C-alpha cells in the first residue's frame, strides 16, 4: 500500500512512525498489521528503532530520508528490540547505508551474520542509555518477550515506550485504520485483535499466568510516566487510560 501510505507520522515531538501494512489471514478474515520503525530525533544525533520487515525496507528507507530532510540530526544509532526478521531484517542494509552508525540492544549474535561490522555492535542492558542531545534513549525491561534477547526502549524526550512485540495487534484495512493511532480507529475491536496476535505470534501466552505480566506492564508504564506507546506491530497508543485496559483484556483472553 506504499502509494497511498499515510506514513511517516509524527507521534510526539521528534518521534516519527514509519512503515507499511502487511496482510495476514486468520480464520477467513484478512487483517493488516505493521512492522514499524521509529526515528527519534535529538539535537546531536538521531536513533532509529527497528529496521522493519525486509519487504518494507525500500519504503522505510525513503521515509527515514524524508524525516531527516526536515532538519533532523544525523542518524548515528540503531536500536533493535530483538533478532526476529520483522524487527532486524534490514540490519545489513542499514549498516551499509550509514557507515558511521552503531547498533544497540542485545547484540549477542549479530556478529555471526555481519562479522565485518562487529566493532559497530554495542550491547545494552536494562538501564543503559544513549544521549541524543536534549533527550536520552534508555533500555528498559521487556515485560512481554518474543525471544530471550528481547529488550525494550524508552525515549525521555517524548516519554515514548518502544515495546517491540508488547502491545502487538492487527487493524482493519476495510475500516480505514491504516496510518491511524489506536484511539482514531473507532471500530477497532482492540481486545479481539490483541488476542489474535498473541495466539499467532506469542503462543506461550496461552500457557502462562498473563495476569502477572499485564500487572507488571501497567506498573512499568506508571514508573516511566509513559505518554505514548509505539509498538512494532500495532497502531500507536496516545491515550493510555482509554486504550491500555483493552490491550489488557486481549492479553488475558487466551488464559
The CATH number of residue 148's host domain is 3.60.15.10
Residue 100 has pLDDT above 70, yes or no: yes
> Percent of the chain at pLDDT above 70?
82
* Class of residue 118 by CB neighbours under 10 A (exposed 0-12, middle 13-18, buried 19+): exposed
Provide the pLDDT confidence category of residue 13 given band limits of 50, 70 and 90.
Answer: very high
Does residue 249 lie in a domain region?
no
Distance CA 153, CA 98 (A): 21
Does residue 6 lie in a domain region?
yes
Distance CA 26, CA 199 (A): 11
Residue 155 domain boundaries: 2-181+228-237
Task: Report the number of distinct structural domains present in the chain.
Answer: 1
Does residue 78 lie in a domain region?
yes
Does residue 192 lie in a domain region?
no
Q: What is the pTM of this model?
A: 0.88
Does residue 109 lie in a domain region?
yes
Amino acid at each position: 500500500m506504499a502509494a497511498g501510505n499515510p506514513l511517516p507520522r509524527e507521534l510526539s515531538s521528534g518521534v516519527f512512525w514509519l512503515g507499511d501494512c502487511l496482510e495476514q489471514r486468520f480464520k477467513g478474515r484478512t487483517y493488516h498489521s505493521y512492522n514499524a520503525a521509529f526515528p527519534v530525533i535529538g539535537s546531536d544525533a538521531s536513533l532509529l528503532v527497528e529496521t522493519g520487515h525486509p519487504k518494507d525496507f525500500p519504503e522505510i528507507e525513503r521515509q527515514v530520508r524524508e524525516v531527516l530532510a526536515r532538519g533532523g540530526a544525523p542518524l548515528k544509532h540503531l536500536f533493535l528490540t530483538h533478532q526476529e526478521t520483522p524487527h532486524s531484517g534490514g540490519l545489513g542494509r542499514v549498516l551499509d547505508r550509514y557507515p558511521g552508525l552503531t547498533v544497540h540492544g542485545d547484540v549477542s549474535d549479530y556478529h555471526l551474520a555481519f562479522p565485518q561490522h562487529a566493532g559497530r555492535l554495542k550491547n545494552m542492558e536494562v538501564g543503559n542509555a544513549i544521549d541524543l542531545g536534549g533527550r536520552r534513549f534508555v533500555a528498559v525491561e521487556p515485560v512481554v518477550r518474543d525471544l530471550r534477547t528481547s529488550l525494550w526502549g524508552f525515549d525521555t524526550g517524548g516519554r515514548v515506550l518502544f515495546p517491540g512485540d508488547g502491545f502487538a495487534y492487527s487493524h482493519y484495512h476495510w475500516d480505514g485504520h491504516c496510518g491511524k493511532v489506536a484511539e482514531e480507529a473507532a471500530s477497532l475491536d482492540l481486545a479481539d485483535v490483541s488476542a489474535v496476535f498473541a495466539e499467532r505470534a506469542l503462543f506461550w501466552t496461552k500457557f502462562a499466568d498473563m495476569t502477572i505480566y499485564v500487572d507488571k506492564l501497567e506498573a512499568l508504564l506508571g514508573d516511566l510516566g509513559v505518554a505514548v506507546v509505539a509498538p512494532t506491530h500495532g497502531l500507536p497508543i496516545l491515550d493510555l487510560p482509554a486504550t491500555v485496559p483493552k490491550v489488557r483484556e486481549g492479553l488475558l483472553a487466551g488464559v
